[in-house]
Amino acid sequence: MRPVVTALALTLIMPMSVPAHAAGLQIAPFAIDVSPPMGAPLCGGAVKPASSIDAPLSARGIVLLPMGQAPIVLCAVDFTGIANGAHDAWREALAGAAGTTIDRVTVHSLHQHDAPAIDFSSEDLLSPLGLGGKSFDVPHAKDCIARCAEIVKQAVAAPISITHIGAGSAEVYRVACNRRLIGADGKSWAVRWTTTTDPQVRAEPEGTIDPMIRVVAFWNDDKPVAALTYYATHPQCNYGEGHVTHDFVGMARDLLEQTVPGLRAIHFNGAGGNITAGKYNDGAPENRKILADRLFDGVKRAWESQKKIPALDLAIAWKTTDITLPVRKEIDLNRERAVLADPTAREGARRQAADEIAWIDRINAGKKISLSALHLGPTVLLHMPGELFVEYQLAAQTMSPSETVCMAAYGDYGPGYIGTAKSYPEGGYETALYVSRTAPEVEGNLLDAIESLLE
């Protein structure tokens, strides 16, 4: 009798922690425009500042309101990255607006490059040195967070009942490829960038990717209310000239909303750290629409393939785990502090130093990264940090082959790229110093965490 008594006791003590069937499930979709003002830095100041809005950026998502549980917030933002203190601030604001706790809020960027990258922690280091506002428009970032919280509060006040949840998937053709080209000696010999003009590099096989796009849809009887889509790749065609855009992933998202009237479509970038469209993109402007159409072709087939399950038949559970990401040993914190303080150093080097210091100071202070999983019956939504390699996404699917596993990466952008253990000695851009702030041991930490979230 002891296990039964223990289970009953836990149910009474922690009602939020146990799975609940979806009787009375409601959701509250939300969206706001987060396009930056003209002149604002884009991509952390790595490209030309904003000079036009070719396609508006948005922050959008849903608040799930399962009966007997605290609200759950899933938010996707058309930004390059949301790191450290900015990631904390966005989650805290949405938690307050939705009436929940921060551990039940996940915020992800889609990683378009003609878009802002925000980090309040590095900004706090740069501002006293006269370098404030060089990486992003601070008032704009804070305004986006405040307006996103306000729209969440309004959405929660008028939720929509959900009777069915659907899930489907389809292969996407001629969009993604692995960007890391490894030679017979086990070393990186080329990077297949988002824009690749070298015909030899483009001719290489696609390599290791996840070719599938996955869709999870919420229905009110026969009316679709919201859809979450998941696909792993860097989401740029041509970029860097200051023309703000949600790029080809945003265009495909728009096409889904136009095809299914009344639907709120929310796209999440999967583990696309080592994935680009470089095999199929030489940077020609017309390629953006070509890639968008190819991606939407997959979205459309995934939508049509979905199987709907009555919400009453689904158990909903939210799981979290907090882990420490190991810092790579090559980063010399004293050197970075000296570069940051040096008025004769290049501005870009000082801003880079601030990024390194911000992340490492948080880790040294005991800051952990929160990972989470939303279980919707046979469908699991995993929420991960950084520019994660696709191997983690494929590993998660292998761990739980009987379920539809959807992964959203690009949560807290603080760690930068997160490679696999074998990728660090291979060399290449993605695991270079100042690009990836994690050590090779990160693989074991993350795989253990993913396995625990899938249980």
How does pLDDT run across 79-88, given as a tens digit for each residue?
A: 999 999 999 9
The sign of the CA dihedral 322, 328, 329, 333 is negative
Contacts of 447 (CB under 8 A, 6+ apart): 392, 395
Q: Provide the pairing of β-strand 379-383 with 369-376.
A: antiparallel
Per-residue pLDDT 10s for the chain (455 aa) are: 223 222 222 222 233 334 455 557 999 999 999 999 999 999 999 999 999 999 999 999 999 999 999 999 999 999 999 999 999 999 999 999 999 999 999 999 999 999 999 999 999 999 999 999 999 999 999 999 999 999 999 999 999 999 999 999 999 999 999 999 999 999 999 999 999 999 999 999 999 999 999 999 999 999 999 999 999 999 999 999 999 999 999 999 999 999 999 999 999 999 999 999 999 999 999 999 999 999 999 999 999 999 999 999 999 999 999 999 999 999 999 999 999 999 999 999 999 999 999 999 999 999 999 999 999 999 999 999 999 999 999 999 999 999 999 999 999 999 999 999 999 999 999 999 999 999 999 999 999 999 999 99
* Helices (H), ranges, 223-278: 247-259
Return the structure tokens found at 455. 């249980």
pLDDT at res. 5: 27
pLDDT at res. 24: 77
Residue 23 to residues 171, 220, 249, 316, 379, Cα–Cα distance (Å): 33, 13, 34, 10, 17
Contact 226, 218 (CB under 8 A): yes
Contact 215, 303 (CB under 8 A): yes
Q: Is 405 helix (H, G, I), strand (E, B) or coil?
A: strand
- State the Cα–Cα distance between residues 267 and 11, nearest whole angstrom: 34
Give me the count of residues in the chain: 455
Q: Is 290 helix (H, G, I), strand (E, B) or coil?
A: helix
Please calculate the CA angle 62-209-112 and round it to the nearest 5 degrees.
Answer: 50
Q: Is 80 exposed, middle or buried (0-12, 13-18, 19+ CB in 10 A)?
A: buried
Pick from 43, 141, 42: nearest CA to 88:
141
Residue 135 to residues 112, 122, 434, Cα–Cα distance (Å): 15, 9, 16
Contact 83, 412 (CB under 8 A): yes
219: which DSSP letter? E
pLDDT at res. 139: 98
Pick from 325, 416, 330: nearest CA to 364:
325
Per-residue model confidence as pLDDT tens digits over 314-341:
999 999 999 999 999 999 999 999 999 9
- Residue 206: φ, ψ to 5°: -55, -35
pLDDT at res. 22: 53
Contact 373, 454 (CB under 8 A): yes
Exposure class string for 337-358: b at 16+ Cβ within 10 A, else e: bebbeeeeeeeeebbbbbbbbb
Pick from 316, 426, 356: nearest CA to 44:
356
